[in-house]
Homo-oligomer: A and B are copies of this chain.
């Protein structure tokens, strides 16, 4: 089957411009992660089983005015053979909520023509505005995505999980700094000619967010790990803030705490309530 590329986003804005607009217009640094775990999806308001698309759509429609980004997680669609529902979801998001950038969280890491095919998948097939990528294979695993004008490339730097320290926290002999800071420096100083790179830094390590911020200037940070993973929201915002530009610079992700806030027919309202609470807590912390 040959698929038709998704029509180009009608907005001429780059990912970082979309993000700047969303921070300003929405007054929010909250990113809602769309991780539809079929074992946890509640029944529909009518009591019927709810599909992956319908669940994500209802959560997105209920939270679109309180977020700066949506982040569908590829694995939850792939394990269910639900690529068609991911296509439909991103089309819905771009149609109904064009002001909100969409990040495809698939943490790709490959090179040359293989990476070019992943870029086609993310940006043409699915129509995402940005993709997450893994830096282990270096510059030629990042470049193929940057060729797609205006698309965002969000590079793993310091991840929120305990095992992240296995490699990322090893100190490098040349300067004694840990690997994740070398990734931050490569991203900021060598790879970011287009200005479309962001970095992933986990909320579970606020001190390290501050160190990354010191290296990368105003580069946007995607920060997972608040909510279910237990990262400290206030410490995170203080560590990642851009002085003089409060309310910008971060996409702070929450997935499970919002998606599964309710298990009844009011799940979307419950999700909205937790999203508003989280947005407000992030706002307060940014003051």
A residues with a Cβ closer than 8 A to B are 1-3, 35, 37-38, 73, 75-76, 78-85, 87, 107-115, 117-118, 120-121, 124-125, 134-142, 156, 159, 161-168, 170-174, 176, 179, 182-183, 186
- Which chain B residue shows the least CB distance to A159? B137
Closest Cβ of chain B: how far from A227's Cβ, in Å?
Answer: 13
Copies in the complex: 2
Interchain CB contact (< 8 A) of A79 among B35, B38, B82, B125: B125
Task: Let me know if B161 and A76 touch, CB within 8 A.
Answer: no
A117-B79 contact given A137-B161, A140-B162, A167-B183, CB 8 Å threshold:
yes
- Which chain B residue shows the least CB distance to A177? B173
Closest Cβ of chain B: how far from A19's Cβ, in Å?
Answer: 23
Which residues on the B side are within 8 Å of A79 (C-beta)? Answer: 117-118, 120-121, 124-125
Closest Cβ of chain B: how far from A270's Cβ, in Å?
Answer: 20
Task: Let me know if B170 and A174 touch, CB within 8 A.
Answer: yes
The 10 lowest CB-CB distance pairs between A and B, nearest first, are: A138-B163, A138-B166, A3-B81, A140-B163, A75-B117, A79-B117, A139-B163, A171-B173, A79-B120, A136-B136
